[in-house]
Amino acid sequence: MELIKLVHPSILIISFIFLLKVLISTTTTKISRSRNSSNGGVSKLPPGPRALPIIGNLHQLWGSVLPHRRLMELSKKHGPLMHLKLGEVSAIVVSSREAAREMMKTNDISICDRPVTPSTEVFAYGGQGILLAPYGDYWRQIRKICVLELLSQKRVQSFRSIREEEVFNLIQSIHSEISCSTSSSLVNISQKISALTNDITTRAVMGNQLKEQEFFLKALNEAVVATAGFSLPDFFPSMKLLKYINGLNRRLRRNQRELDRLFLSILREHEQRKMDQQAATANRQGAGEAEAVLDDTEGLLEILLRIKDDAGLELPITLEGVKCVLY
């Protein structure tokens, strides 16, 4: 009794709801299986290891062995097509070339939708980016924009001067460090290459270096880490309270607000630079001076904003959709 008094009432309520949900889910599963067996029904799912109640096969993926190696060991026993129950989620593991070809080439339309997890739902704004949007007209439109406008050979070649300039800056930086340091000092090439990649990507996407580039890349990296892994709410999607209990939703929303703040800052910076260029051009024309040659290389952000305002689109693209494509 003393222990019960120390527990907060809200925790007791949440625990009771969780246990009730588990009991109902387990009972429903048993009833469904008994009906299938009594009706002589045959499951269309491939074979797999025996699943435990509630957690399914999650216990077989825990431990010091990496998950992909554990899956390889299980597939040797249960075959190239294997069914796993990860909490409430059913998963099919494909581990042979022939089965992968059948899935990815012959039946690609059937499996092209990406699963939406609590983390991807937040950062993809309900599936507005090319990676997580459901297969359909909107996804085909976004894919067409990316292929023809953002990733075409002409567009990639237009960023050649950016790549050459940043590589030159990298070489100069390494040469300067070697010249000014002692013979025992080392140059962290991995760090230099990472900075080079970030600078090239930032200039190609935004059109120039960002004032808050360091904070933006840090927030973006945190978002990638959050969406790359799995957490308990991913395995029990029907239990909405889990993402609030373990603090996942709070962390995701905080990171999303930071990214939104930085993105709005980028938009303001972009609009200010555009207005300054227009004002400078108007001043030169008013003074009768020759028009200066400006850099006509459009950043990917500017391209997407121009396309977003295009009235000829079959399906409108929101500002959130622009963020998803860039991220």
Q: Give per-residue pLDDT as tens, 105-139.
A: 877 777 777 777 777 777 777 777 787 788 888 88
Same domain for 91 and 81: yes
H runs (alpha helix) in 39-188: 67-78, 97-101, 118-123, 137-145, 153-158, 160-180
pLDDT tens digits for range 44-79? 788 999 988 888 888 888 877 788 888 899 999 998
Asked which of 73, 90, 111 is the last residue of a domain, the reply is 111
In a domain, 308, yes or no: yes
DSSP 170-224: HHHHHHHHHHHS-TT----HHHHHHHHHHHHHHHHHHSS--TTHHHHHHHHHHHH
In a domain, 3, yes or no: no
Report the distance separating Cα 116 and Cα 111, nearest Å.
Answer: 13
Q: Which of 12, 11, 91 is nearest to 51 (CA)?
A: 91
CB 300 within 8 A of CB 158: no
Backbone angles phi, psi at 101, to 5 degrees: -65, -40
pLDDT at 163: 92
Q: How many helices (H) and strands (E) does the chain have?
A: 15, 2
Same domain for 143 and 128: yes
pLDDT at 106: 79
Same domain for 274 and 180: no
Q: Domain count for the chain, please give it.
A: 3
Find where tokens 């001076």 sit. Answer: 289
Does 21 have pLDDT greater than 60?
A: no
In the chain, beta strands by DSSP E: 81-86, 89-94
Q: Which domain holds residue 176?
A: 160-207
Same domain for 313 and 248: yes
Lowest mean pLDDT among 59-68, 92-101, 286-295: 286-295
Asked which of 85, 111, 137 is the last residue of a domain, the reply is 111
Same domain for 168 and 155: no
Same domain for 93 and 227: no
In a domain, 18, yes or no: no
